[in-house]
């Protein structure tokens, strides 16, 4: 009863000027608190960016990654933007899970042919600053380098400068050529004038007899490493430790020359030269309709075990679909098989054919680094200003060029010789009845000229004509219902008019003069 009386008196309270001013001031305070006090809230929130010098330093480090993330070459996780993406690095034989500090090892020397098991070994070496400290960290998964970057911004309890903080940058990668080797690079940047002491630790006391680790210190004249315990001896010296890291990237770069991109980026630029940087996007497998798009190979993975399951499933799928030789060729052949599967490309005895579903070509995508003999071909499905799809083909220049020819579906027109021009070549999207591949590429001109006589086609339609015939509009039942309603309405109207003028009680049209 008391509360009800207070609510009844609320309109009278707000009628006073001081109450309205107080309410407006409170609303302005809340607005300024939420929009201008975000940085202050970060220092008290555990799920947001930490405040103080460590938070500002971490923001500067994340800003350095922005160009990599914008190109689609990596993803990062920070206190402000956490991700459930597993930060892993693998080479087909072993896999490092940086988040959980676990190592996965394949039970066979052939990648994808045997299950991968999780070991008790912890691959990361811990690096800790002695004494109390404030710390903020972030991680980035760099697709192009095949590595995981981890940055930590550390501020001691009593720093010499309140604006500076110490950087600890770590890089984890599984070596491309040395199947059983992984690397952890640590770079420490100390802005202070006094020396700081770090402790190097490892959690591998029980499993040290199965794995070996070593460390090499660069950039200083002294090194102090803790002695091994439990009767296990660890070697902390590795001559030429930087050499494996230099051997890793030249072997990984040719693999990434192949790839695919989908969406607006492919629509704007078309196929990029094979020397360009690949774009790896999450919606990639959700574009064209073919067997690679179906579940479960196109489902997102959020754990290391699911990623390994996807790797095994892709390997098995490609082997069973005629890409067994490519899968056995290693990373280069495996990625080539994925690109062929994604684009609906198929090799025959005399040509390479592009047999995508014409009903889904309203999406733009590009395929790069398709190897045909000694040439690298890039193929893109693009849209013109009217939204009509067309094919764009580009060939990478070679020292010893090989003549290539291409023709659209049906090969009704004369085949076109492909050159390494920057602008490339364009082909219209033609749809045949029955359905045949949309594009043929071959080194044999006579083969393409003879191909038109062996297809036995009923009709060759432009893509817009095919879509108009495939989807003529609303179904027949809808139009039949509309026509029936219109007919019934006019019959009812005719009945009303007839009863009004010709029925039993109808009035005569003309008055009698009598």
- Give the max Cα distance, the chain: 138
Under DSSP, the state recorded for 507 is P
Q: What is the pLDDT of residue 292?
A: 46
- Write down the domain spans for the chain: 52-204+244-251, 254-470
- Distance, CA of 141 to CA of 73 (rounded, Å): 9
Phi, psi angle pair for 80, to nearest 5°: -80, -35
- Distance, CA of 90 to CA of 455 (rounded, Å): 46
Q: What is the pLDDT along the chain (514 residues), one digit of tens a residue?
A: 555 565 566 566 556 677 777 777 888 888 877 765 544 444 333 334 455 677 888 888 888 888 888 888 888 888 888 888 888 888 878 888 888 888 888 877 665 566 778 888 888 888 877 777 788 889 999 988 888 999 988 887 666 555 678 888 999 988 877 778 888 888 888 887 777 777 878 776 555 556 666 665 554 433 343 333 433 333 333 333 445 555 555 555 555 555 556 554 444 444 443 333 333 333 333 333 444 444 555 555 678 888 888 888 888 888 887 788 888 877 778 888 888 888 788 888 889 999 888 887 777 888 888 888 778 888 988 888 888 889 999 888 777 777 889 999 888 889 998 888 878 889 988 888 888 898 999 989 999 999 888 888 888 888 777 777 776 667 778 888 999 999 999 999 988 888 877 777 666 655 555 5
Question: pTM for the whole thing?
Answer: 0.59
C-beta separation of 61 from 76 below 8 A: no
CA 489 to chain centre: 56
Q: What is the pLDDT of residue 171?
A: 92
Among left, alpha and beta (phi > 0; psi -120 to 50; other), residue 382 is beta
Per-residue H/E/C for 455-478: CCCCEEEEHHHHHHHHCCCCCHHH
The tokens for 55 are 């938070």
- Distance, CA of 184 to CA of 202 (rounded, Å): 13
Q: What is the pLDDT of residue 201?
A: 80
Place of tokens 């021009």: 421
Place of tokens 């630029």: 269
Per-residue H/E/C for 85-118: CCCEEECCCEEEECCCCEEEEECCCCCCCCCEEE
- Distance, CA of 248 to CA of 182 (rounded, Å): 10
The tokens for 390 are 């067309």
Phi, psi angle pair for 283, to nearest 5°: -75, 15
- Distance, CA of 375 to CA of 393 (rounded, Å): 13
- Distance, CA of 486 to CA of 480 (rounded, Å): 10
Q: What is the pLDDT of residue 337?
A: 85
Among left, alpha and beta (phi > 0; psi -120 to 50; other), residue 162 is alpha
Element (H, E) at 377: strand 375-383
User: How big is the chain, counted in residues?
Assistant: 514
The tokens for 322 are 């005629």
């Amino acid at each position: 009863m008391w509360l009800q009386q207070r609510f009844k008196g609320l309109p009278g309270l707000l009628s006073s000027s001081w109450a309205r001013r107080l309410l407006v001031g409170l609303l302005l305070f809340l607005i300024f608190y939420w929009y201008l006090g975000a940085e202050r809230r970060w220092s008290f929130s555990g799920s947001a960016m930490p405040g103080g010098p460590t938070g500002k330093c971490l923001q500067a480090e994340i800003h350095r990654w922005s160009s990599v993330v914008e190109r689609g070459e990596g993803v990062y996780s920070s206190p402000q933007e956490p991700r459930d993406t597993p930060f892993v690095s693998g080479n087909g034989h072993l896999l490092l899970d940086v988040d959980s500090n676990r190592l996965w090892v394949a039970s066979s020397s052939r990648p994808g042919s045997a299950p991968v098991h999780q070991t008790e070994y912890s691959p990361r070496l811990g690096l800790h600053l002695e004494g109390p400290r404030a710390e903020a960290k972030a991680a980035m998964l760099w697709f192009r380098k095949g590595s995981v970057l981890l940055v930590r911004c550390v501020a001691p309890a009593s720093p010499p400068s309140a604006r500076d903080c110490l950087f600890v940058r770590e890089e984890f990668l599984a070596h491309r050529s040395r199947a059983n080797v992984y690397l952890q690079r640590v770079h420490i940047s100390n802005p202070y004038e006094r020396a700081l002491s770090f402790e190097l630790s490892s959690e591998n006391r029980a499993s040290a007899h199965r794995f070996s680790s070593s460390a090499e210190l660069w950039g200083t004249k002294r090194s102090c490493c803790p002695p091994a315990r439990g009767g296990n001896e660890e070697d902390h010296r590795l001559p030429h430790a930087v050499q494996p890291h230099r051997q890793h990237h030249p072997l990984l770069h040719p693999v990434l020359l192949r790839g695919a991109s989908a969406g607006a980026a492919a629509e704007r630029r078309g196929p990029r030269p094979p020397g360009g940087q690949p774009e790896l996007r999450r919606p990639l497998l959700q574009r064209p309709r073919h067997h690679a798009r179906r579940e479960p190979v196109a489902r997102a993975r959020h754990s290391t075990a699911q990623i390994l399951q996807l790797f095994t499933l892709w390997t098995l799928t490609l082997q069973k679909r005629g890409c067994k030789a490519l899968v056995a060729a290693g990373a280069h052949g495996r990625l080539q098989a994925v690109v062929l599967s994604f684009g609906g490309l198929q090799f025959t005895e005399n040509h390479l054919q592009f047999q995508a579903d014409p009903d889904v070509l309203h999406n733009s995508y590009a395929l790069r680094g398709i190897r045909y003999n000694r040439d690298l071909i890039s193929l893109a499905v693009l849209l013109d200003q009217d939204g009509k799809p067309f094919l764009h083909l580009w060939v990478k220049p070679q020292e010893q060029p090989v003549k290539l020819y291409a023709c659209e579906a049906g090969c009704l027109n004369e085949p076109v010789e492909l050159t390494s021009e920057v602008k490339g070549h364009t082909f219209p999207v033609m749809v045949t009845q029955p359905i045949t591949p949309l594009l043929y590429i071959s080194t044999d001109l006579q083969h393409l000229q003879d191909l038109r006589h062996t297809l036995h086609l009923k009709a060759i339609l432009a893509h817009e004509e095919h879509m108009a015939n495939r989807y003529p509009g609303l179904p027949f039942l809808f139009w039949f219902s509309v026509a029936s309603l219109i007919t019934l309405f006019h019959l009812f109207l005719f009945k009303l008019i007839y009863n009004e003028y010709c029925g039993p009680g109808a009035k005569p049209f003309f008055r009698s003069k009598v």
